[in-house]
Amino acid sequence: MFEILHSDDAFVAVNKPTGLLTVPGRGADKQDCLYHRVLEQFPDALMVHRLDMDTSGLVLFARSPEVQRNLSMQFEKREISKTYIAVVAGIIEKDSGVVDFPLRKDMEQRLPPKHLVDCVRGKKAITEWRVLERGAHTTRVALFPKTGRSHQLRVHMQSIAFPIVGDPIYGIPAERLMLHAETLELFHPATGEPIRLECPASF
């Protein structure tokens, strides 16, 4: 199912497992999703944001239209700080860095959907990264997206020659995509107080 990390009268935070859609897709075989599962326990739940199907980690659900607007505005204004954990192929020698490549959807590839770097027609996308641990052939990194483009972290890491392990589109397929939404720092939509949500990666 899924793990409930926080719940109150305003919103719910859960840990989405890898391989599960956040919202339903097209077709009867794509109706099982995190949103429908959350609705079974919280019938008033409303979507706030999404994760890729193969990405695991923190997802928020509002429990009223007012809270949904509040949280959506915090995301839009980039008031919510996000940290992802990833394992990438290769050894990154620098300790930290920034990827500042604009992105757009690849209109020539529809299935699976793909995005690419385009310095002319792409939309601004910025990702900060920091090395956490170096292995024999991989590097564990913390990723800090400053924008919220589709597939941003996956394309950005591939663009600097360190694709995320298990990425079936931008890297080499493995048992799972080694990408996890670990922390969210936001303002509580009811009280305005800062709140930090944490969901440690299982890898």
In a domain, 105, yes or no: yes
The CATH number assigned to the domain holding 23 equals 3.30.2350.10
User: Helix or strand or coil: residue 167?
Assistant: coil
Question: What domain range includes position 178?
Answer: 3-198
Enter the tokens of residue 201: 């990666």
- What's the pTM value of the predicted model, to 2 decimals? 0.94
Looking at the domain assignment, is residue 59 inside a domain?
yes
Question: Which entry of 8, 9, 32, 52 is annotated as an active-site residue?
Answer: 52
CA 93 – CA 75 distance, rounded (Å): 32
- Residue 113 in any domain: the answer is yes
- Look at phi and psi of residue 28 and say left if phi exceeds 0, alpha if psi is from -120 to 50, else beta: alpha
User: Could you give the number of structural domains in the chain?
Assistant: 1
pLDDT tens, position by position, 129-175? 999 999 999 999 999 999 999 999 999 999 999 999 999 999 988 99
Active site residue 167: no
* Within a domain: 203: no
Identify the segments of the chain with pLDDT beneath 50: none
Q: Does any domain span residue 50?
A: yes
